[in-house]
């Protein structure tokens, strides 16, 4: 299933995309895609619905974050072999973990708002993972059973904030609108192998990133298991699993986002995002 939340920010309704690509309203069946709607049992109930009997949503409403009330947004750094090379970093022995503020989350096609005093805002297309049930100290062999589904994620990053202003990455990763995910959550039954998905990102129609999740250093199963040994993963938590090569920071010359740019990004079987880059309100 492809599950969505549609409508104006803060007023989203639950929906799904049917087999014909049409948006159907689920608000008569569930209140929202909250943590309790991400379990295997809850998703199985939704899968049994006759979608052609659900109300059809007309027009092209905004698509919001596909999960409500995300508790944690966890990200993995340097997780593609080629990206490690372009960043001139050694292949890590263990996953590099950092957090993105949940206030950075936004819909897949919402504007990217450059933060105040931004100089080096950059892009990072990633496979996103959405947790479906509580995970503590789980093994790698069972880790995918704890996944509700997958989504497209763009781990936007202000590189000056991230690299040149101290040793912690988080402040360059959590700016408002720096976490577009979606357009939808694709349930894990539709993605039997998350380690063979093409990922790509364009800026102004030019291909900047191209890769495949098979070149990830740490697999999705490894990441979910690993994280569960350091923190409790809860339903609705989001994990961004790392980016392939082609980020603006590593290009020669370097390229960073500016107002008016258009970013388009996608992951095979998970849909596409499209964002316009705008300046922070009031910036001269």
The domain limits of the chain are 2-53, 73-278
Per-residue pLDDT, 284: 44
Q: Write out the two tokens for 240.
A: 């961004």
Cα 222 from Cα 205, distance rounded (Å)? 34
Regarding the domain delimited by 73-278, which CATH topology (the fold level of the hierarchy) does it fall under? Answer: Fumarylacetoacetate hydrolase; domain 2 (3.90.850)
Cα 8 from Cα 63, distance rounded (Å)? 8
Per-residue pLDDT of the chain (284 residues; tens, 9 = 90+): 999 999 999 999 999 999 999 999 999 999 999 999 999 999 999 999 999 999 999 999 999 999 999 999 999 999 998 888 887 778 999 999 999 999 999 999 999 999 999 999 999 999 999 999 999 999 999 999 999 999 999 999 999 999 888 777 888 999 999 999 999 999 999 999 999 999 999 999 999 999 999 999 999 999 999 999 999 999 999 999 999 999 999 999 999 999 999 999 999 999 999 999 999 986 54
Per-residue pLDDT, 166: 76
The angle formed by the CA atoms of residues 68, 28 and 102, to the nearest 5 degrees, is 5
């Amino acid at each position: 299933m492809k599950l969505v939340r549609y409508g104006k920010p803060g007023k989203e309704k639950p929906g799904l995309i049917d087999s014909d690509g049409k948006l159907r309203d689920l608000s008569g069946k569930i209140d929202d895609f909250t943590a309790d709607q991400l379990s295997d049992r809850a998703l199985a109930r939704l899968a049994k619905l006759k979608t052609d009997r659900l109300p059809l949503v007309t027009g092209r409403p905004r698509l919001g974050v596909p999960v409500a009330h995300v508790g944690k947004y966890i990200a993995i750094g340097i997780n593609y072999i080629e990206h490690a090379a372009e960043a001139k970093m050694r292949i890590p022995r263990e996953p590099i973990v950092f957090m993105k503020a949940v206030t950075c989350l936004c819909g897949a096609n919402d504007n990217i708002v450059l933060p105040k005093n931004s100089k080096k805002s950059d892009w990072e297309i990633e496979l996103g993972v959405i947790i479906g049930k509580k995970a503590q100290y789980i093994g790698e062999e069972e880790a995918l059973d704890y996944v509700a589904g997958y989504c497209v994620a763009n781990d936007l990053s202000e590189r000056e904030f991230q690299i040149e202003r101290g040793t912690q990455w988080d402040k360059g990763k959590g700016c408002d609108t720096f976490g577009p995910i979606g357009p939808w959550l694709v349930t894990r039954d539709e993605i039997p192998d998350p380690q063979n998905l093409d990922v790509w990102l364009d800026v102004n129609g030019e291909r900047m990133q191209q890769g495949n999740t098979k070149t990830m250093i740490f697999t999705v199963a490894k990441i979910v298991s690993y994280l569960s040994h350091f923190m409790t993963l809860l339903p609705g938590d989001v994990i961004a699993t790392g980016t392939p090569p082609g980020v603006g920071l590593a290009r020669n010359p370097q390229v960073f986002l500016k107002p008016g740019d258009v970013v388009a990004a996608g992951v095979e079987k998970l849909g596409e995002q499209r964002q316009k880059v705008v300046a922070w309100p009031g910036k001269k």
